[in-house]
Amino acid sequence: MARDISSILSSKVGKVTQTAGASKRTRKLPPSKVPKLEQHLAAASNATHSWKIQPYLISCKPYGFDKSWSYSNESKLSLCCFDLDGTLINTKSGRKFAMGADDWKWFNDKVVNKLVDASLTYDFIVIFSNQGGIVANDPASKSYTNFNKKLTSILGVLNNKEVKNVLLYAAPKLPAALKKNPDYCDKSPEKNPFVRNRKPNTGMWDQLMKDLSIKEVVNTAVDFGSSIFIGDAAGRKKDFSDSDKQFAENIGIKFSTPDDFFV
């Protein structure tokens, strides 16, 4: 079942206020829970987006998106889409995988200005990311907390530059607790949402279409000629795969690499 992180945090905020503000109370949060809760509260206080968490999909949309940014089927949308790791950002540590929520830096010094330009040129900037190290069936898990904090920081930087039309879709890994569930053992993207949402399959794109108030995934709703996807998995000798290139081809939009786009 989908869970809205804002409602989860709101309930936690109330508990913390009562504990901290009433010195006569004897019941307090266990010390081991305080740092993790503080991370949640810090992220919530700086949040510009709302999060929706499902075991097989994480999505993030600007506050007010559903009410003020809905489109009819007659609208043609231009979308500037990006992969995340290795495309928009790299690790500061130089490691392949981030060591924590703060272990990130922009791909290069052109990224922010390019995103500012894209926010004025395109209807939406959309991030599609495979996140095989994140477990999303528990919003308090360390992997999800770190991811939420990192993206909140990234989105905060962009928001300060008036880049507000950013959406995110991330495909987490299959949690160990669900591996024996027959619904998630099938390798077919049609039957298994964990498979369907991972690039180069188009589950994340399909969810975007639904979130843009498009009841059916119809080609006339998106301006495919002007839309583009930028990713580092392009099938080059240095690349780990061609999943980003295949993802763009499966959708039917143009493709570029960060090396060519952020110049």
CATH of the domain at 106: 3.40.50.1000
Q: Report pLDDT digits (tens) over 37-76.
A: 444 444 444 568 889 999 999 999 988 776 666 555 556 8
Domain that holds residue 159: 54-261
Say yes or no to pLDDT of 253 above 90.
yes
Amino acid 72: pLDDT: 53
**Domain identity same for 156 and 205:** yes
**Domain identity same for 37 and 60:** no
**Domain identity same for 96 and 150:** yes
Per-residue 3-state assignment (H helix, E strand, C coil) for 127-155: EEEEECCCCCCCCCCHHHHHHHHHHHHHH
**Domain identity same for 168 and 103:** yes
Q: Using alpha carbons only, what angle is made at residue 206 by residues 205 and 210, rounded to the nearest 5 degrees?
A: 115
Amino acid 64: pLDDT: 76
Provide the number of structural domains found in the chain: 2
Amino acid 220: pLDDT: 54
When pLDDT is averaged across residues 131-154 and rounded to a whole number, the result is 92
**Domain identity same for 73 and 8:** no
**Domain identity same for 147 and 19:** no
**Domain identity same for 89 and 34:** no
**Domain identity same for 82 and 24:** no
**Domain identity same for 36 and 108:** no
Q: Find the range with the poorest average confidence among 1-15, 149-163, 221-235.
A: 1-15
**Domain identity same for 22 and 128:** no
Residue 64 CA to its chain's centroid (Å)? 17
**Domain identity same for 89 and 10:** no
**Domain identity same for 36 and 63:** no
Q: How many CA atoms lie within 13 A of 237 on its CB side?
A: 0
Q: Find the range with the poorest average confidence among 1-15, 162-176, 237-251.
A: 1-15
Q: Report pLDDT digits (tens) over 179-202.
A: 888 888 888 899 999 999 999 999
Amino acid 167: pLDDT: 95
CA 255/CA 111 separation, integer angstroms: 17
Say yes or no to pLDDT of 4 above 50.
no
Report percent pLDDT > 90 for the chain: 58
